[in-house]
């Protein structure tokens, strides 16, 4: 039995926030499990156009908290990712793979992601 497809409006809602778009772009590029810490660093460098060492100390903490308490649970509730808070790991699901045509089009249209996403470790 296959899962029902995600409605296009839901995909747009998932992509409405830039931090979620960065997470989705990283997962699309990496196609593997990634740590929340690395996602936070990538969101920071993408959103602030600065390196982690140049950013204010609290900025990375605020980003990680928003990922853990808002953005990752939202993506997980739609079955797009699996989030393991105990291990600090996020991985794309099969459902994520089925979103690729729509997701790629949305991510390509984001001017903040024009140069592509590079995972910051």
- Torsional class of 98: left (φ above 0), alpha (ψ -120 to 50), beta (otherwise): alpha
Torsion 32-43-98-76 (CA) sign: positive
How does 61-89 read in b/e, with b if 16+ C-beta sit within 10 Å?
eebbeebbeebbebbeebebbebeeeeeb
Residue 1: pLDDT band (50, 70, 90) is very low
Domain ranges of the chain: 8-109
* pLDDT tens string 75-105: 999 999 999 999 999 999 999 999 988 998 9
Residue 19 has pLDDT above 60, yes or no: yes
In the prediction, which pLDDT does 45 show? 85
Structurally, at CATH architecture level, domain 8-109 sits in: Orthogonal Bundle (1.10)
């Amino acid at each position: 039995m296959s899962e029902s497809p995600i409605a296009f409006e839901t995909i747009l809602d998932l992509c409405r926030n830039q931090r979620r778009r960065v997470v989705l772009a990283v997962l699309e590029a990496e196609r593997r499990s990634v740590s929340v810490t690395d996602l936070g660093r990538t969101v920071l460098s993408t959103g602030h156009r600065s390196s982690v060492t140049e950013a204010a100390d609290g900025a990375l903490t605020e980003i990680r908290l928003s990922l853990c308490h808002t953005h990752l649970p939202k993506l997980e509730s739609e079955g797009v990712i699996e989030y393991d808070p105990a291990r600090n790991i996020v991985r794309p699901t099969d459902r994520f793979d089925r979103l690729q045509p729509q997701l790629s089009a949305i991510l390509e249209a984001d001017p903040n992601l024009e140069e592509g996403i590079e995972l910051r470790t």
